[in-house]
């Protein structure tokens, strides 16, 4: 495995750990034994500065947020670059996938929602949305200084 400066980590439904950094991302088993390393992921996605955020869906697709553009970048489970999705956000704070596989990306004033294929669904106003996650029922939890909010994102 390369020596990489990690910036983000996520756990897949299969228990694998995904860690993203400047030039790519790595996959570990639940005991942090290295399984795969995608050293050229940033280069393959035409990213000069790598990735800031990461999440993975139930099918093993890896979603990363590009550091300088805040574009959403999608890779297959075998590390193959699939597509780059402009988000229109500035300084993304977090990425989360809901139980239906929709992608939620937050910055301090907006939460943008995309389909698993990257099509925009909606933008929601947010106040200081620094962290987002979902429970199994699809309720969204937002770390919004100084509160944690529970929100129904209103998507069926």
Q: What's the chain's average pLDDT?
A: 90
CATH 2.40.10.500 positions along the chain are 1-86, 88-156
pLDDT of 156 reads 66
Under DSSP, the state recorded for 44 is H
Report pLDDT digits (tens) over 102-138. Answer: 999 998 889 999 998 889 999 999 888 999 999 999 9
The 10 Å Cβ neighbour count of residue 143 is: 17
d(CA 95, CA 105): 5
**CB of 20 within 8 A of CB of 52?**
yes
State how far the Cα of 92 lies from the Cα of 137, in Å rounded to an integer: 25
Phi-psi region of 73 (alpha: psi -120 to 50; beta: other; left: phi over 0): beta
Q: Return the sign of the alpha-carbon dihedral for residues 19, 136, 125, 61.
A: positive
Helix, strand, coil % over all residues of the chain, rounded to 5: 5, 50, 50
* Per-residue pLDDT at 101: 93
**Per-residue pLDDT reduced to its tens digit, 70-83:** 899 999 999 999 99
Alpha helices in the chain (DSSP H): 41-44
Residue 106: alpha-carbon gap to chain centroid: 10
The fold adopted by the segment(s) 1-86 is Thrombin, subunit H (2.40.10)
For 11-39, the pLDDT digits (tens) are 999 999 999 988 899 999 999 999 999 98
**Which CATH class, in words, describes the domain spanning 88-156?**
mainly beta
* 99: pLDDT strictly greater than 90: yes
| Listed residue (38, 40, 101, 103) closest to 70, CA to CA | 103
Q: Does residue 2 surpass a pLDDT of 80? A: no
Angle at 136 between CA 130 and CA 137, to 5 degrees: 95
């Amino acid at each position: 495995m390369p020596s990489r400066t990690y910036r983000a980590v996520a756990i897949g439904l299969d228990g694998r750990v995904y860690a993203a950094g400047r030039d790519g991302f790595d996959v570990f088993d639940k005991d942090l034994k290295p399984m795969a390393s995608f050293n050229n992921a940033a280069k393959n996605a035409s990213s000069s500065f790598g990735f800031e955020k990461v999440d993975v869906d139930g099918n093993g697709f890896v979603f990363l947020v590009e550091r300088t553009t805040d574009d959403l970048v999608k890779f297959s489970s075998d590390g193959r670059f699939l597509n780059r999705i402009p988000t229109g956000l500035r300084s993304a704070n977090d990425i989360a996938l809901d139980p239906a596989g929709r992608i939620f990306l937050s910055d301090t004033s907006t939460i943008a929602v995309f389909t698993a294929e990257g099509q925009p669904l909606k933008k929601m106003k947010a106040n200081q949305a620094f962290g987002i996650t979902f429970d199994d029922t699809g309720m969204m939890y937002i770390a919004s200084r100084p509160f944690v909010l529970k929100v129904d994102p209103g998507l069926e």
